[in-house]
Structure 1
């Protein structure tokens, strides 16, 4: 091969080598950028109790800038001890702005004025709706995990919760004892509500359906005596600090008429919001069925 031929060959080899190096570097930089983006999860301020709970489940600690003040109340917060590691807010715009979060998570009943103010200053605001069924609860987990950049964690959690619910649904029960959710002033829930679905999946017959209540309603003391459930399920916000409304289930008429229902007390924190603890509650109430 002559000198010119050798030069052309070296040039081709050198050019190919440069190209390979360039492609490798580009891939490396792209990979690094992708890793950095993956590491930089959005920071969050929650101004809603239910969002607090799911944020604590799904977010990394470094993402959480502030939670609502209700997250520090034992009566409302499932993860009260964990929540106490973080600052709180009362949902005021002036408390949120200095934190400059990437995302603010509010509830469907958060003040419209607050939401408009937050959006007006350029903050991203997402609304977490109230979960009124197992499906909507799982949907909230999925959506919030996406907002937080934690979709894989959300998918894994939803999958596990579905498996637990399906396992309960597939078990056959020889009997379904009768129960009434009996909140202060006789407020109760029907089958088309999260707590109603919890009762159904746990294996109880909800007596609210016997009087035509499908979502939310009231059962008077007289009606409760007629229905004569095997159990009443209560969720006092502060146990043993009875108000007159809460004391309805202690009325002397209940015992004088022979109503001998078991009273099942469920922590209010397990019933205020929907989340993984809701499936825990189904399993706990199923154990009560098996003992009836």
Structure 2
């Protein structure tokens, strides 16, 4: 054997070996130089494939185990902490001292309940943050003096808890223009507007904020040991369910929340079922010069009701500014407007007073529906009331104008607009 032969043999991988000493198949199945060698027997190839499958299975199991929520013990008794700064302690039997006992819906931002076996805290909630870490909310005792700083959490707390457990609500709930539950809110009677001093004066044991709340407020409250539950997303019924579950978990009202959501989902399904048998009405939600397009909460409402959102069909997303001319070109069968509570009829008259609108089908009865702003923009369980309100308006429209609308042309918003713009 020549020296060059020895070099070539040294560079060849030992392909006939099923596993190396560590029990892992060799990964270097390709020589650094020369042709790829074939296994010397069919049994050897089968062996290598079997071992690779075992390794892949082991890696999959390890990956799943890594995703499972570990038992963490916060370094402090109240407030929130990042998992990276929280020490872990094992129970005497060598197991994890914490266990997951209940979960909110499994969205990325959803809070999960973790019960500490040590018994020195009432409850710990955890959720994953955007960076992949884990945020903890530690509640030393069941909250009895809760302060809410969002209108959504105001509405949920008023539904789930007696007024005596609510120390304060947001200022939105003090006004008929922004509150759906003004009568219930008046039983609490204390409204705070986002000042840390005002909130701390109420001696809260839990404060509920939103991702859009002032970051400084959250930092100041947590700095003095006040637990803060921050709600992150409000983009549709799925997020609303998550938020209700998180609030219920934080205040110990899971049973009431389950009943609330069971009823709400039953009502939503009833609307879907009824409207699925009706013609798909071409609708538009139009608020202060903005169309509620694809991805908006009202877009989801229209889809639940079996309607077609003309703004979404035109390719727009979110809250899209449109002028009256574009609205006229789209020629929707029904338009939903928003107004201050008590001024619904005045807003309808203002909209219909525009000559361009009166010349379209929208000038006919039942085609312009005005909803109070508090209900139009709700992101609590009252969302179901909004869906039912929209569905009822669509039912009336189909009963009154269904035959006429079926005979009219059905323009595609994008194509119609393009043709209009190209007309000399």
Verify same fold: TM over 0.5.
yes
8 Å CA contact retained: 2:143, 2:251: yes
Aligned runs of 1:100-111 on 2, under 5 Å? 100-111=203-214
Query: Where does residue 25 of structure 1 map in the other structure?
Result: none
1:111-150 to structure 2, matched below 5 A, reads 111-150=214-253
For residues 188-207 of structure 1, what are the alpha-carbon distances to aligned partners after superposition, in whole Å with 9 as ceiling and x for unaligned? 21232221111111232111
Is 1:68 the equivalent of 2:170?
A: yes
Quote how far apart the aligned CAs of 1:290 are: 1.8
CA distance in 2, matches of 1:215, 1:241: 24
Correspondence for 1:187 among 286, 290, 298: 290
Aligned to 1:220: 323
TM-score (norm 2): 0.56
**Helix, strand or coil at the partner of 1:276:** coil
Q: Distance in 1 between matches of 2:327 and 2:154?
A: 35
Once structures 1 and 2 are overlaid, which stretch shifts more, 38-47 or 209-218? 38-47
How far residue 60 of structure 1 moved from its aligned partner, in angstroms, is 2.3
In our comparison, the structure showing a higher alpha carbon Rg is 2
| Closer, same or farther: CA 66–288 of 1 in aligned 2, 3 Å | same
- State the superposition RMSD in angstroms: 2.6
Query: Aligned with 1:45: secondary structure?
Result: strand
Deviates more, 1:257-266 or 1:230-239: 257-266
Q: What is the CA-CA distance between 1:243 and the residue it aligns to?
A: 11
Aligned with 2:357 (options 240, 254, 266)? 254
Aligned counterparts of 1:121 and 1:291: Cα–Cα separation in 2: 55
| Mapped partners of 2:346, 2:368: distance in 1 | 17
Q: Which structure exhibits the higher relative contact order, with contacts defined as CA atoms closer than 8 Å and separated by 6 or more residues?
A: 1
Query: Is 2:146–2:205's contact at 8 Å kept on the other side of the alignment?
Result: yes
How much does 1:256 deviate?
4.1
Provide TM-score, normalisation by structure 1. Answer: 0.79
Helix, strand or coil at the partner of 2:291? strand
Label 1:201 to 1:95 Cα distance change in 2 as closer, same or farther (>3 A): same
Q: Does 1:89 align with 2:159?
A: no
TM-superposed CA distance for 1:66, in Å, is 0.7
Inter-partner Cα distance in structure 1 for 2:373 and 2:207: 25
Distance of 2:344 and 2:330 partners within structure 1:
27
2:371 is aligned, of 248, 253, 266, to 266
Unaligned runs of 5+ in 2: 1-118, 124-140, 398-424
1:43 counterpart = 2:157: no
Q: Does 1:177 align with 2:258?
A: no
